[in-house]
Structure 1
Amino acid sequence: MELKMRLCVALLSLSLCLGLMGHVRAQEEADDVEMDVEDAIDDMREEDVEEEEEKAPGPPPVPTVTYRAPEPMGEHYFAESFDKGTLQGSWCVVLCVGKWEVEEMKDTKLPGDKGLVLKSKAKHHAISALLLRPFTFDTKPLIVQYEVNFQTGIDCGGAYVKLLAQTPDLDLEEFVDKTPYTIMFGPDKCGEDYKLHFIFRHKNPKTGEFEEKHAKKPDADLRTYYTDKKTHLYTLVLNPDNSFEILIDQTVVNSGNLLNDMTPPVNPAAEIEDPDDHKPEDWDERPKIQDPDSVKPEDWDEDAPAKIPDEDAVKPDGWLDEEPEYIGDPDALKPEDWDEDMDGEWEAPQIPNPICETAPGCGPWERPMIDNPNYKGKWKPPMIDNPNYQGVWKPRKIPNPDFFEDLHPFRMTPFSAVGLELWSMSSDIFFDNFFVTSDRTVAERWAADGWGLKKAAEGAAEPGLVNQMITAAEERPWLWIVYVLTVALPLVLIIVFCCTGKSPASTSAAEYKKTDAPQPDVKEEAEDEEAKEEESGLIDKHKSEEEDSPGEAEDAAGSDNKDGDTSNEVEQLMLLEEH
């Protein structure tokens, strides 16, 4: 109970402190207003004063994130920040319906930071640019990264990049969906299917044909990256040991190996089923068969019905045998357009007989049906193991004529350009800071100078926790229920826990009634009464002694024993009077 009281006192103290703080703040604001008025009056009265005292310096301004275009600090194959504000000179826009623009984000937190924006909706877009030099897959890793922001959300569309294969006939002005690529990487979404593509085209060393290999799906939930309208950094890392990593905002969301985690597999099976093999006609795949030696029992009655009338049933009292269960509606009228020659004889629609509503039933009574205890049904021989069972037939295995083994799928086709070839039902998709390198440290520095600034600026502009909760609840009203259950309900329980329960007084009173033990107040009253009685008795005794021998008191002044007794009695009387 003491814990409850302490908790209640703490909560009340906290509330009181908050209230006092609010009151003090309001009082300070009011005082500030009064001081401002007085200062204004003083200034008006002192118009002849030429110089005023310098004002005290205010608080320092809140630091803001200043944008500076990132610069590559190391070996790289491609770097584009779009901060020049133009596509001329490096990018080739295909003359199709879709429109591209270089501009800032609609709700930019970094003035001066520009990017490539897909402006059209429900149209084909294609744009590409050459690398500084082709990338060759040899002993160095490949790092590709770029930023995407779905400014207005995304309904159905992609934001993936293609690394265009280095071929003699590569023409960026003719960049279409059929243009050969080496890798396709990036986000894609349609409906509730959120994807993060990593596809590479593998060349069959025997036939020379290319086949797309798709990475396994990420285990992480990608929904937030498509719906939060923030800028996200997508990174693909391929290593010469065939391992790969896919990162979003520098956090790994998928990883694996090109040999083990791609669909279909890079290397085909060493053996395949023989397409010319056929199951023999006498092949028996039945694991169970009917017992051929089983005979139907003589007493087995296959004709016995499954249900029989209940012979123990009795017709309820008051059953109306002569009354029909349904009667014609007496209030129904034949339609005026009823043609008996065409429609036949008209009959009133049937309704439940109102007389039967108060009776157990109407019409001829029949015994209810029950399960027949002697019913056995159609006799069938029991099942036994098939002695001729040969198992499920499968065609035999033969060596795969198309088998090959490529232990180095990292050695892909070199690529010499990057491109965006997209069809989107959403517009205003923002792309920025494309970067291709073989040095991960250089890529991280580029990300820090570009995406890192955006993240810092967006974080500084984010509302507080309460505003975020309110905004989320406006988009998803069901969150209000969650807030009530997680915030309001525990608060109510704490108040009930602190402010309810038996008080010490009522508890002690109840125990007193049960045990009849003396209570502190009762003990004190009893002690006071005893003291008063003792005092009264001593006074009466002293008076009686004075009345009986008034002269003896004076004669006994020299007697030591009587003097001591008298002084003791006087001291006791004084103590009792003080008490």
Structure 2
Amino acid sequence: MASNVAALCFFALIASASATVFFEEKFGAGWEEKWTPSTWKQSEGTAGEFTWTAGKWYNDEEADKGIQTGPDARFYAISAEMEPFSNEGKDLVVQFTAKHEQKLDCGGGYIKIMPGGSDMAAFSGDTPYNIMFGPDICGVSTKRVHVIFNYKGENLLTKKTITCETDELSHLYTLIVKPDNTYKVLIDNVEKASGDLEADWDFLKPAQIKDPEASKPEDWDERPKIDDPEDVKPEGFDDIPEKIEDPEAEKPEDWDDEDDGEWEAPMIDNPDYKGEWSPKQIDNPDYKGMWEAPLIDNPEYVADDKLYLYEDNKYVGFELWQVKSGSIFDNVLVTDDIEYAAKVGEETWGAMKDGEKAMFDKAEEEKKAEEAAEREKAEEERKKLEEEGEGEDEEPVEEEEDEYEDTKDEL
């Protein structure tokens, strides 16, 4: 028994030793030395800047510092270099926290993993990337988590809709890509989506297609219902008029045939009229359903058991457009160790969330109290103005009464 426990510990140590952290950034002091702001959009005056802050609510002001976008309506781009790696045969985990304390109305909040070969000093929306992952919010319609993979030069967006968080607090976003071509997306360490890469992205041509040479057989019957051949039109059916004279109508007593013409009763709908006759419908015994061409193997389909694979991963960065700035990004992690990523998530986001929420709730209460006080003050001022206005209206009346008394005395 002891030998088995020792063996398990040995293999656990081997697994732990083989796990690699490719990049980790908690944005402590000196973070600027690792990150390169892009010159993209600077000449146009539309480049934003990242500032180092914990924001307006936090658990620990120093420990919870990240990089925040500002000012509004700007493009943002910043990147850091990793030790180049390939994820062949390994899990790949990309994780970070995002806090939209400005209540983001339109803008991105995603991270990118990029290959080498690009000038990261000019990092832009055109810079090639391997993976783009994170929340994107714009208006009412777009509130989703982007998971985009580059495959043979084409950026492919997931076919699933993964809803992102839209409040003003920090949330942990985790993407796991496994060497068996499966994936998971977690938010706050809770699984929100998972599945097969080939099924949920258009990496490959479809494995099967409709046979282009197939045609519908001439005797294929697509009619679910048919006329009942035994249903016969009743005799005299077509003789029933649509309108008849109102049997309850009476000729008015003052009706003069010579002056008014011959009186005729008004016409009304005939309750016995049934419209045009048609035989009743019955189930078609020969119905075969709607015809579809049979599926055949797609000659253009080429299987790929390495859809997950990116041989060259060298940079990590944020490249965003935000109408309303103020998003804070923190706790960036790129690793092949799923357990370590979960541990880091709990030690960072997990440790801050309760204190941050308490500070946010307190700020909201103070804000509501201040707004209520302002409304009360405004109401008091309104009432005061109304009272003053009523007093001003009474004075001319008194003057008019005095003038009337003077006139009466003179008379």
Correspondence for 1:418 among 316, 322, 329: 316
Distance 1:121 1:463 in 2: 25
Distance 2:279 2:357 in 1: 77
C-alpha deviation, 1:89, in angstroms: 4.8
C-alpha deviation, 1:386, in angstroms: 6.7
Distance 1:452 1:385 in 2: 62
- Secondary structure at the counterpart of residue 201 of structure 1: strand
C-alpha deviation, 1:157, in angstroms: 0.9
Distance 2:255 2:365 in 1: 75
C-alpha deviation, 1:449, in angstroms: 4.6
Correspondence for 1:158 among 72, 84, 108: 108
Opposite residue 272 of structure 1, the aligned amino acid is I
In the alignment, is the contact (CA less than 8 A) between 2:146 and 2:157 conserved in 1? no
C-alpha deviation, 1:236, in angstroms: 1.8
Correspondence for 1:310 among 228, 246, 250: 246
Bigger share in strand: 2
In the alignment, is the contact (CA less than 8 A) between 2:57 and 2:360 conserved in 1? no
- TM-aligned CA distance change 1:441 to 1:299, over 3 Å: closer
In the alignment, is the contact (CA less than 8 A) between 1:87 and 1:102 conserved in 2? no
C-alpha deviation, 1:102, in angstroms: 2.5
Distance 1:181 1:118 in 2: 21
- Secondary structure at the counterpart of residue 77 of structure 1: strand
String of CA shifts for 1:105-141, please: whole Å, max 9, x gaps.
342543335322211322322222211x123122332
Distance 1:144 1:391 in 2: 48
Number of positions where the alignment pairs a residue of Structure 1 with one of Structure 2: 341
Correspondence for 1:136 among 73, 80, 86: 86
Matched with 2:68 is 117
Distance 1:85 1:101 in 2: 14
1:465-504 aligned at under 5 Å gives the runs 467=365
Q: Check if 1:238 corresponds to 2:177.
A: yes
Matched with 1:99 is 48
Correspondence for 2:166 among 192, 201, 226: 226
Greater relative contact order (Cα 8 A, min sep 6): structure 1 or 2? 2
Opposite residue 239 of structure 1, the aligned amino acid is K
The gaps in structure 1 that reach 5 residues or longer are: 1-73, 204-208, 323-364, 475-579
C-alpha deviation, 1:427, in angstroms: 0.6
String of CA shifts for 1:253-295, please: whole Å, max 9, x gaps.
413222475144x554433123355557886644555578987
- Secondary structure at the counterpart of residue 21 of structure 2: coil
Distance 2:280 2:61 in 1: 84
In the alignment, is the contact (CA less than 8 A) between 1:148 and 1:431 conserved in 2? yes
- TM-aligned CA distance change 1:189 to 1:295, over 3 Å: same
Distance 2:245 2:360 in 1: 78
Query: Which segment is superposed worse, 455-464 or 111-120?
Result: 455-464
Correspondence for 2:139 among 187, 191, 195: 191
Distance 1:387 1:107 in 2: 72
- TM-aligned CA distance change 1:448 to 1:300, over 3 Å: closer
- TM-aligned CA distance change 1:463 to 1:389, over 3 Å: closer
| The structure with more radius of gyration | 1
C-alpha deviation, 1:436, in angstroms: 1.1
Correspondence for 1:257 among 195, 214, 228: 195
Q: Check if 1:434 corresponds to 2:349.
A: no
Distance 2:188 2:230 in 1: 74
Matched with 2:236 is 299
- TM-aligned CA distance change 1:469 to 1:305, over 3 Å: farther
Matched with 2:130 is 182
String of CA shifts for 1:44-103, please: whole Å, max 9, x gaps.
xxxxxxxxxxxxxxxxxxxxxxxxxxxxxx841112233335634532423312211232
- Secondary structure at the counterpart of residue 127 of structure 2: coil
Matched with 1:401 is 299
In the alignment, is the contact (CA less than 8 A) between 2:34 and 2:80 conserved in 1? no
- TM-aligned CA distance change 1:424 to 1:467, over 3 Å: closer
TM-score after normalising by structure 1: 0.50
String of CA shifts for 1:519-562, please: whole Å, max 9, x gaps.
xxxxxxxxxxxxxxxxxxxxxxxxxxxxxxxxxxxxxxxxxxxx
Bigger share in helix: 1
RMSD: 4.0
Q: Check if 1:87 corresponds to 2:25.
A: no
In the alignment, is the contact (CA less than 8 A) between 1:259 and 1:407 conserved in 2? no
Distance 1:469 1:111 in 2: 21
Correspondence for 1:248 among 187, 192, 201: 187
C-alpha deviation, 1:238, in angstroms: 2.5
In the alignment, is the contact (CA less than 8 A) between 1:197 and 1:215 conserved in 2? no
In the alignment, is the contact (CA less than 8 A) between 2:35 and 2:78 conserved in 1? no
Matched with 2:9 is none
Distance 2:103 2:143 in 1: 13
C-alpha deviation, 1:457, in angstroms: 3.5
Distance 1:239 1:399 in 2: 27
Distance 2:208 2:90 in 1: 34
- TM-aligned CA distance change 1:94 to 1:80, over 3 Å: farther
- TM-aligned CA distance change 1:279 to 1:366, over 3 Å: same
